[in-house]
Amino acid sequence: MSLVIFHNPGCSKSRQTLELLEKSGKTPTIIEYLKTPPTAKKLQEILNQLGFTPRDLIRKKETLYAQYDLGNPDLSDTDLIGFMIKYPILIERPIVLYNGKAALGRPPEQVLEIL
């Protein structure tokens, strides 16, 4: 099965996670999700693999989070996924997928659990 990292080269945790994967002898497919965001369906699959809700995967410190009042409890999971697809900077990173499993690289070593 292929190894995939949803990567943001501007993020130190994302760079550290990619380096950790490469040092472990793995060659992941790199998806720069800011350039190529996942579809809503793919993001829902990732959430399911992580065992997360959209609120667990949304970056709360991003300006857009406050700007669009994304902490509003009246927003549905579908609403939040829509915002993350439209503004992929809101997606927490890095996300690693391998063999039907997913891990968030915060801390980077956490991804080793699914390899």
Nearest-CA neighbor of 115 among 104, 101, 52?
101
How far apart CA 55 and CA 19 sit, in angstroms, is 28
Within 10 A of 83 (CB to CB), how many other CB atoms are there? 18
Q: Write a three-state SS string for 21-64.
A: HHHCCCCCEEEECCCCCCCHHHHHHHHHHHCCCHHHHECCCCHH
Q: Active-site residue 69, yes or no?
A: no
How far apart CA 2 and CA 12 sit, in angstroms, is 23
Residue of 2, 9, 11, 38 marked active site: 11
Which amino acids are annotated catalytic? Answer: 11
